[in-house]
Each structure stands twice: as structure tokens, then as C-alpha cells.
Structure 1
Amino acid sequence: MISALNRLVDLVEEHLTEELDVDGLARRLGTTEYHLRRMFSSLAGMPLSEYVRRRRMTVAAADVIRGEDDLLTVAVRHGYGSTEAFGRAFRAVHGVSPGDVRRDGGPLRTQPHLRFHLTVEGSIPMDTRIVDRPAFRLVGHAARVPLIYRGVNPHIQRHIAALPPEEHARLKALSDAEPRGLLQVSDDLGPDAAEGSELTYLHGVATSRDTPVPDDLDAIEVPAGMWAVFRTSGPHPQVLQDTWAATATEWFPSNPWRLRPGPSIVSVLDRADDFSTATCELWLPVEPA
């Protein structure tokens, strides 16, 4: 996976002003575009699309400062059809317009050329199992919320807090399939998802496909497939988020599995009254690499 990510970075540099054929590269490397993009964003700390934009504007800034061509020529050279579109992209990265940089020489925010390196870690074993599940259904209360990678997501907190206590009991009574109990489900999250982008969060339970869904509840249909299940225990949500990150840095690079599209699911098995600590299972949809 490390070599695949570095080949992807090289492809960005070779085609900086063109559309990237990430799917073609993924097929040549024996993986999928979805998995390659998800691993890139997890390890780089930004989506591939954001890295491409930052690199493109880093290189474009040199052309702007040199002043050998007018700004329209520079814009077209770097894949933009107008100075307005180029200016918006340039300002989004550098915080100033191309004209300001041409006049003042800066300020500029440079995106270095990324390289991925393997760091030997893994001194703490990850408690993992692989589960083959038939198709099932996730049922509960869904909301669109922004993605937050670290710490408690207040939008999700508010969504759950708005549900009356008796609703949690009703949902638990519907649960008749794994993962058991009340679930925290994240869905509709693209492989390039940046922090702040929207996802569908569902607070609910897993049911069989034959279980009737009450009219006032939302449902997500989940096809049959394999799941990697990671068990975590400790301060919440820190340990859960650390484990999620470690799946990209440690588990996937050393195991013959890759992510496939689908929801990620957190099952809370046990917790303190104030939720300061918890024992959870993180379910990620996978397929053989």
C-alpha cells in the first residue's frame, strides 16, 4: 500500500494540470480507487482532491511570480478556463489573489511533495475479527451532519440528545441482527471526504431484511459482505478514533484486505454513565485485497 500511495503521488506530479486516472492506476496496482483514496486521505490528513489543488497552486505560484506570461495564460496552463476560476482556486490555497502575489511576491502557502514511508509500529496487537454477514438493514433516526475527525461531534450529540429515552428502548427492541445494540452509523461518506463535509449519521439498530420498518424511522439497506471488526476499550471517543486511524497506518498495510463502499458502524458494548470510557466495536466493510 505504501508503494501504491507513492505511485499515486508521482502520478499527481506527472499530470498536475490534467484529470487524474486514479481508477486506472488502482487497477494496475491491484486495488480499487475507493480504497486508494480512503487510505490516502487517512494517512495524508487531507483528501486527494485537496492535495492536488494545493500542489497545482504551489506550482502555479512560481509562474505568477515570474511574470513572464499574463494571468490568463498561466490559468490555462494549469487547467483553468478563466482568470476568475484560477483566481478563486489560487486564493483558496494562498489566501491572496494572483495579482497581489505578482505585485508583492507573497505571501504563499506551499504544499510540499508528499512521500509516504513505512514506520515500524504495531507493538500493541489490534483485537480484530473478520465477519461474513448476509444482507441486513440499519434502522433508526438519520441526520446530515458535518464530518469531524477528532473529539466529540456536537452535531451528533444534539441529534441523539433530541431523542426521548423511550425511543432508545423502542429501537433496542427492534434489534435482531449483528451488530447488536444501539449503533452509531456513518454513511454516504465519499473516499475524498474532507473534515466539514457532510455525511449521513444514523442512530439506530441492525435488523434482518424481513423485519418491518416503522414508518417514522429511516433505513439503510446493507448488502451482504465481509466486515473487519475492531474491538476497543478505554477513554471515549479518543481510543475509538485512534483505532480508526490505526486501521489505515497499521492494519490495512499488513493484512490482505481493503475497504469497500458501505457504512461504518460503531457498536457500544459497555460504557461509563458519563460516557468518559467505553468498550466498542468498530465495523468496517472490507473485501479481499
Structure 2
Amino acid sequence: MLERLNRALEHIEAHLDERLDIGEAARIAVTSEYHFRRLFSALAGMPLSEYVRRRRLTLAGAEVLAGERTLLEIAVRYGYTSGEAFARAFRAVHGVGPGAARQTGAALYSQPRMSFRLIVEGSSSMQYRIVRKDAFHVVGKKARVPLVHEGVNPAIAEFVRGIARETTDRIKALSDQDPDGIVAVTDDLDPSRAEGTELDYYHGVVTGTRVHVPEDLDTLTVPAGTWAVFENSGPYPQALQYLWRDIYTQWFPSNPYQSRPGPEILRVRPSADGSTADAALWIPVEPTAP
């Protein structure tokens, strides 16, 4: 898997100055574009779109200092439709505009070319199960919140605190299948999964599609599909966030599955003081091509 990912990165590197087709890079990695973007983000610690932008502006910076092309020619070469757009992007990465950089020979920032290597650390095995579920509903209360990679998400915490106990009890009573009880469901995430991008968050339960849903509750219809279910226990929420990271950096590269579009479902059973928790994380998956 890592060998295919590195070939895909070589393709990206060879086409930074052209109309880059991420779909072709995903095909080289023998995976879907959706999974390729998510896997890259987990392994690299940054969205694929951000890496491409930084690499393009790194190469553009070298051409700006070389002075062999006009600034507009360089802008077009690296995919910018105007000199103004190029200048804004250039300044955001290098801290100085391209014109000033050329005139003064300013020191510029560089995004190194990336490759992936497997490091065997002897970590403990990861427990998981594969579940095939018929179509179901997620029923509860929904909010649009920003993505936070580490620590408690303040927007989610405030949203959940604002749900009345009576409403939570009514929602919980609708639970009729695994994962049982109140769950946290995230859906409609930005493909980049960049910090601060928004997602739909449901505080709700999983129910059958024939359950009557009260009008004051929100419903997410989820088609039938396959899920990989991972369970862990530890400090909350750190252990859970590390679990998500390990799924993408260890489990996916080692197993014949890839992520597919769909909501992620989290069931948490916190300790009395809330410092630790038992968690089960449901990730929508599909088999990879043979």
C-alpha cells in the first residue's frame, strides 16, 4: 500500500505545473479519490490540497527568484488565474509578495517533497470487527460545527449541553439496534478534513427506517453498507483521537478495505468523572479492488 501511495505522490510531483488530476493519483494508488485524500491527510498531518498548494508555491518561489519568466507566466504555470490570486497565495506561504521577493532576493519558505515509509514500532494489535448493516436512520438533534483535531470540541460540548434532559430521554428511547444508546455521528465533512472546516454533528441514536420520528427531531438516512468497528478504552478524548489516527495510519494500509462516503458513528461510555471512557468507533468501509 505504501509503495502505491509513493507512486501516486510521484505522479503529483510530476504534474504540479499542469492541470493536476487527483483522481489519476488515486487510481495509481489503487483506491478511491475519497479514501486517497483521507489516507493522505492522516499520514501526512495535512490535507492533500494544502500539500499541493505548498509544493506549487515552493517551485514557484524558485522560479520567481530565478527571474527567467514573468510573474504572470509563473502564476499561470502553477494554476492561478490572475496575478492578484497568485500574489495572495504566494504571500500567505512566503510572507512576502512575488514582486518584492524578486526585487530583494528574499529568503522563502520551502515545502519538502513528501514520501511515506513504514516504521515498525511493535505496538499492540488493534481489535476490530466488520459489520454489514441494512439501511437505518440516525435520529436526534443536529448542529453544524467546526472540526477540531485534538482535545474537546467546544462547539459540540456547548451544543450537547443545550439539549434538554427530556429531549435526550426521548431520543434515547428510540434506539433499537447496534450501536445502542446515544451516539455521536459526524457527516458531510470537508474532504480535506482540515482543522476548522465544518461538519454535521448529530447527538442521537440509530434506529430502523420504519420508526416514527417526532417532528422536532432531525433525521439522517444512511444506506445499507459495510462498517469497520473499532473499540478502545483510555483517557477521553485523547485515546479516541489517537484511535482515529491509528485506523488510518496502521489499519487501512494493512487491510483489504478502504473508507467510503458515509457518516462515522461513535458510541462513548464515560467513567464517573469523565476522565476516561470506553468507546466504539464505526467507520464506513468497502473492500479494495483485488
Identity of aligned residues (%): 55
Determine if the alignment matches structure 1 residue 203 to structure 2 residue 197: no
Contact 2:270 2:277 (8 Å CA) reproduced:
yes
Contact 1:96 1:107 (8 Å CA) reproduced:
no
The alpha-carbon distance between structure 1 residues 44 and 134, as it changes in their structure 2 partners (threshold 3 A), is same
**CA apart distance, 1:67:** 2.1
Determine if the alignment matches structure 1 residue 96 to structure 2 residue 103: no
**CA apart distance, 1:165:** 1.7
Which residue number in structure 2 is paired with residue 68 of structure 1?
68
TM-score by length of 1: 0.95
Which residue number in structure 2 is paired with residue 279 of structure 1?
278
Kindly provide the CA deviation profile for residues 144-191 of structure 1, in whole angstroms up to 9, marking residues without a partner as x: 111111111111111101111222211110111221111111100133
RMSD: 1.4
Letter in 1 for 2:91: R
Which residue number in structure 2 is paired with residue 141 of structure 1?
141
> Which structure 1 segments of 5+ residues have no match?
none
**CA apart distance, 1:28:** 4.6
Contact 2:184 2:202 (8 Å CA) reproduced:
yes
Letter in 1 for 2:159: H
Partners of 1:232 and 1:6 in 2: CA distance: 31
Stretch of structure 1 that moved more, 11-20 or 130-139: 11-20
Contact 2:9 2:25 (8 Å CA) reproduced:
no
Contact 2:4 2:30 (8 Å CA) reproduced:
no
SS at match of 2:213: coil
Partners of 1:61 and 1:28 in 2: CA distance: 29
Letter in 1 for 2:285: V
Which residue number in structure 2 is paired with residue 12 of structure 1?
12
SS at match of 1:206: strand
Which residue number in structure 1 is paired with residue 35 of structure 2?
35
Which residue number in structure 1 is paired with residue 51 of structure 2?
51
Letter in 2 for 1:282: L
Partners of 2:69 and 2:132 in 1: CA distance: 59
SS at match of 2:226: strand
Contact 2:127 2:230 (8 Å CA) reproduced:
yes
Contact 2:5 2:29 (8 Å CA) reproduced:
no
Which residue number in structure 2 is paired with residue 176 of structure 1?
176
Aligned residues: 288
Letter in 2 for 1:229: V
Kindly provide the CA deviation profile for residues 205-240 of structure 1, in whole angstroms up to 9, marking residues without a partner as x: 111000112111111111111111000101000111
**CA apart distance, 1:242:** 0.6
**CA apart distance, 1:110:** 1.0
TM-score by length of 2: 0.95
> Which structure 2 segments of 5+ residues have no match?
none
**CA apart distance, 1:21:** 2.2
Partners of 1:72 and 1:201 in 2: CA distance: 43
Which residue number in structure 2 is paired with residue 22 of structure 1?
22
Partners of 2:92 and 2:177 in 1: CA distance: 46
**CA apart distance, 1:122:** 5.0
Contact 1:11 1:20 (8 Å CA) reproduced:
no
SS at match of 1:142: strand
Partners of 1:122 and 1:164 in 2: CA distance: 46
Stretch of structure 1 that moved more, 98-107 or 108-117: 98-107
Partners of 1:24 and 1:43 in 2: CA distance: 19
**CA apart distance, 1:136:** 0.4
Partners of 2:108 and 2:146 in 1: CA distance: 29
Partners of 2:165 and 2:111 in 1: CA distance: 48
Contact 1:35 1:191 (8 Å CA) reproduced:
no
Partners of 2:276 and 2:221 in 1: CA distance: 31
**CA apart distance, 1:273:** 2.7
Contact 1:121 1:250 (8 Å CA) reproduced:
no
**CA apart distance, 1:66:** 1.7
